């Protein structure tokens, strides 16, 4: 089983997962980062709020666009095609930085930015 850790305090994250969660591989379980417990420094709340995180069954940790690509499988393999990875990573980074500005965005980030 792999765990896809997302920010349940972020409306944008919740809405996106609700809309596209049906595309997740059958061995991927979404889980709010608020419910995750780990001693691993890569998997602490402050780190997890920076990007969606996929914790694979073998302990590997993927973040951002790569986490999404691996979580959906199939067409997600295109992420590794030349040029696609760079574009996907840049797009994900922009969305992550601006998620509190997007409709239904992250209330926690919005309150910190104010």
Write a three-state SS string for 4-18.
EEECCCEHHHHHHHH
Report the predicted TM-score, pTM, of the whole model to 2 decimal places. 0.87
Calculate mean pLDDT across residues 62-87: 96
Residues 6+ apart with CB under 8 A from 38: 44
Q: What is the pLDDT at residue 105?
A: 65
Q: What's the confidence (pLDDT) of residue 107?
A: 64
Tell me: the pLDDT tens digits for 34-74?
Answer: 999 999 988 999 889 999 999 999 999 999 999 999 999 89
φ, ψ for residue 44, nearest 5 deg: -95, 155
Q: Which residue in 48, 78, 104, 101 sits closest to 112, CA to CA?
A: 101
What is the rounded CA–CA span in Å between residue 91 and residue 81?
A: 16
Q: How confident is the model at residue 99 (pLDDT cuts 50, 70, 90)?
A: confident
**Portion of the chain with pLDDT greater than 90, in percent:** 64
pLDDT band at 102 (very low <50, low <70, confident <90, very high): confident
Residue 10 near residue 112, CB atoms below 8 Å: no
Return the structure tokens found at 33. Answer: 């980062």
CA distance 27 to 101: 32
């Amino acid at each position: 089983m792999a765990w896809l850790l997302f920010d349940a305090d972020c409306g944008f994250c919740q809405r996106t997962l609700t809309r596209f969660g049906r595309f997740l591989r059958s061995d991927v379980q979404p889980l709010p980062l608020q419910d995750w417990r780990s001693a691993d420094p890569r998997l602490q709340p402050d780190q997890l709020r920076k990007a969606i995180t996929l914790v694979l069954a073998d302990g590997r940790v993927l973040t951002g666009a790569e986490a999404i690509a691996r979580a959906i499988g199939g067409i997600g393999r295109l992420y590794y095609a030349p040029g696609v990875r760079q574009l996907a990573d840049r797009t994900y980074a922009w969305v992550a930085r601006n998620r509190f500005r997007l409709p239904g965005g992250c209330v926690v980030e919005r309150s910190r930015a104010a």
